[in-house]
Amino acid sequence: MAIRALYSSATGMAANSFNLDTIANNLANAGTTAYKQNRANFEDIFYEHFKLPGVQDNQGNITPTGTDLGIGVRVQSTEGDFSQGSIVPSNGTYDLAIVGDGFFQVNDGTQDLYTRAGNFTLNANGNLVMASADKGYLLQPNISIPQDAINVTISGDGVVSYQQQGSTQIQIAGNIQIARFINNQGLLRQGDNLYTETTGSGNAQIGNPGTEGRGQLRQGFLEQSNVEPVRELVELIKTQRNFELNSQVVQAADQTLQTVTNLRRF
């Protein structure tokens, strides 16, 4: 039985180590624009059944319980929390926050990607792009702002308008659209605050902000990370304690095996 305890506690240590990595990543991104926290889910592993419930005993009675023994735990999945982060003012003309469900659609030159981070800026061609350390991801559909544009405004339903110097006429640059997915949990995280769609997420449903369940836009605001540091610290302490308990089981099982091994000396 001590051998099983060694294996079971080893899986517990591995699972808690994975959970520790997940918590560390959440805390590292507590200040990342529109980051959505991740949660590790676990499941118990295969059971060895020594006696099944509901069988007859020696006297013909039905046994109400059985005897079984599990062999540990494993990571079942990681689940993203897509709840709304805090909306805070940034005063940036091209900073946008989605209040409600939805994602901005951007393109890296080869494929469409999706993000909640609305820290947009203009590139050298006057196109709206999501700023990144590596490259600028072009907003889709493309929105182009002339160099002499002033009083750029973005309405809640995504209409981008501006005036040109020396003119009072309102010009329309385009309409920002956002995407919805039937299952946000199925999106694949790519880094750079970006996601790609998968068969698990379903196809992107593109439309105007404020329609068919899509959130509305707020200009001059950014969505903050939805990580709650206090809760993550509590989970960190629990994970650390669980890891220590599993390590103590390893030590106890090892001592038991040593005792059994030393029996042959008597």
Each domain of the chain, given as residue ranges in start order, spans 85-222
Residues 6+ apart with CB under 8 A from 114: 103, 104, 105, 106, 179, 187, 194, 195, 196, 197, 204
Query: What's the confidence (pLDDT) of residue 6?
Result: 84
* Cα–Cα distance, 251 to 254 (Å, whole number): 5
Q: Average pLDDT for consecutive 10-residue bins of the chain (266 residues)? A: 82 95 96 95 88 82 84 92 95 94 94 95 91 83 91 94 88 95 95 94 95 95 96 96 91 80 68
From 2, 82, 12, select the one nearest 43 (Cα to Cα): 12
The full length of the chain comes to 266
pLDDT at 2: 74
β-strands 216-219, 96-99 pairing: antiparallel
- Report the chain's mean pLDDT, rounded to a whole number: 91
- Model pLDDT for residues 130-148, shown as the tens digit of each residue: 977 777 899 999 999 998 8
Which residue type does 173 have?
A
The structure's pTM equals: 0.86
Q: What is the pLDDT of residue 19?
A: 96
